[in-house]
A and B are shown apart, each in its own frame.
Chain A
Amino acid sequence: MAFDVMIVDDSPAMRRFIRRVIEVSGFGVGRYLEAGNGEEALKQLEHEWVDIVLTDINMPRMDGEELVTEMRKQDHLMAIPVIVISTDATEARIGRLKQLGAQGYVTKPFAPERLREEIETVLGVTPEGALVGAGMGMDGGDDEFSF
């Protein structure tokens, strides 16, 4: 099973790092889409489908909070799971992103295993293709929010 992944971060270095972490985690990835901010991400998502979005928060023009908010408003995007990857580990911020509709949250710094686990939980599958029992898949349910 191969997933299409979008990485949204204004830092090319961080996008490269996240991509590397996913690759070494063993997930089968069909396509990587990359965007430097929420606005660019939404523009690409107008005509591209991805299985998961990994986004930073602090970005110019449109930040991660606005991106999640917009995605949850739009019918064709609301089913795409979002994992926030941020240096901000405050409970206030994590709670706000949960309310907005993010399914996962990984705080930087993180070990590669931490991101792999979060993707497994949100997508509901392991890199080997096994189903993860607690996975929330695409239903966006709040109960399995995995902070």
Chain B
Amino acid sequence: MPRFPWFTALVLLLVVLAAILAPWLAPHPPLEGDLMRQHLPPAWLPGGDPAFPLGTDEQGRDILSNILFGLRVSLSVGFFAVLISVLLGVPLGLMAGYSRRFGELVMRLVDVQLSVPTFLIALVVLALWGAGLLKLILVIGVVGWAAYARLVRGAVLSEREREYVLAAEALGLSTPRVLFRHILPNVLSVVLVQVSVDVPRVILLEATLSFLGVGVSIETPSIGLMVKRGMDYLFSGVWWTTALPGLALMLLVLTTNLLGDWMRDAFDPRRRRVNR
């Protein structure tokens, strides 16, 4: 098994903790502005104020506090949306792998679903339905089912031929029991690997949709929204309202991806040989 990336895991843990503890850690309420202190630069630059370590935005809101609360939104979308996808996709995939007829039907639906990029579906649905955190989680979560269904079906199809399944069937165990007690634990590693790819993808998706203005509502602190607002002031020399939130988000996604890479190597014996 490849070496566990301790440093990456530690950084990720810190970012996650900072996001969870945002209400206690943030120096200011994220949405509290003051036009007297708009566009303060980060504290280490001339004109900066130590009370606002990463500066303020066009309404005088503290960037650091907004980043912390924004990461909270990113993480909740990443967690809950993927959870919905798994809860929908895995059972459907299990059943599709077991019943030939049902499997064909599910696979055709998967084809339809996957013939439009996730981003596009989320964009259209949210633009017409209105922005909002819960809607966003629901839409991304529901749209994500197809990848899991396809993956699990494929895994079940190959597991079915294995002796332990044949033995369980020969013993006369009921189909749901064979599926959930015997096959499911053995296809979980594929699911976990897919989750490790999906969480960072979904986090980026939320940020992108919010950046376009269709993600979370404007009263929600969000990295994407912050960058969107900061974009209007690029040519006035204000770089911290766009650069710093994006950097924080990248740190979260980067560590998640690195941990996912480790998981993929650890679970896949074929890759283990190649990557060492």
| B is a partner of A | no
Residues of B within 8 A of A (CB): none
